[in-house]
Amino acid sequence: MTDTFAKFYKWMTPLKNGYRSIKDDAPNEIKKEVKKADEEYFKKTGRHMLQIDY
């Protein structure tokens, strides 16, 4: 896990099938930040760090 995503760790679900996602009860601003960070990570690496399902 990179430092960018470590700050969101308390809002993540446990690892399942190789992916983590953000808990449903996370604040909307956290969800927006995570989605933006994941999109930037995807642009750099070609893969997603989290499974964004919202």
Q: Structure pTM?
A: 0.73
**Is residue 53 predicted with pLDDT exceeding 70?**
no
Residue 37: inside a domain: yes
**Is residue 2 predicted with pLDDT exceeding 90?**
no
| Mean per-residue pLDDT, 13-40 | 88
Residue 9: inside a domain: yes
**Is residue 13 predicted with pLDDT exceeding 80?**
yes
Residue 50: inside a domain: no
DSSP 6: H
Which structural domain, as residue segments, surrounds residue 14?
3-45
Say if residues 36 and 4 touch (Cβ distance below 8 Å).
Answer: no
| Mean per-residue pLDDT, 3-25 | 85
Please give the Cα distance from 1 to 4 (Å, whole number). 8
**Is residue 46 predicted with pLDDT exceeding 70?**
yes
Nearest to 4 by CA among 13, 53, 54, 48: 48
